[in-house]
Amino acid sequence: MYDHIIVPMALDHGFGATALELAQKLLNPGGTITALHVYEQPSGTVNAYLDESTVQKAYAAAEAKLATRMKGVPNAQATVVKGHSGRTIIDFSSDKKADCIIIGSHKPGLIDYLLGSTASRVVRHAPCAVHVLRDPD
As a whole number of angstroms, the distance between CA 96 and CA 59 comes to 22
CA-based angle 66:9:114, to the nearest 5?
Answer: 145
**CATH for 118:** 3.40.50.620
Nearest to 35 by CA among 58, 57, 63, 59: 63
As a whole number of angstroms, the distance between CA 80 and CA 35 comes to 8
User: Which SS3 state, helix, strand or coil, does residue 6 take?
Assistant: strand
Q: List, for residues 4-40, the tens digit of each pLDDT value.
A: 999 999 888 778 889 999 999 999 999 999 999 999 8
Structurally, the chain folds into a number of domains equal to 1
As a whole number of angstroms, the distance between CA 91 and CA 117 comes to 17
Domain that holds residue 55: 2-134
Q: List, for residues 70-103, the tens digit of each pLDDT value.
A: 999 999 999 999 999 999 999 999 999 999 999 9
- The HSE-up count of residue 137 (CA atoms within 13 Å, CB side) is 8
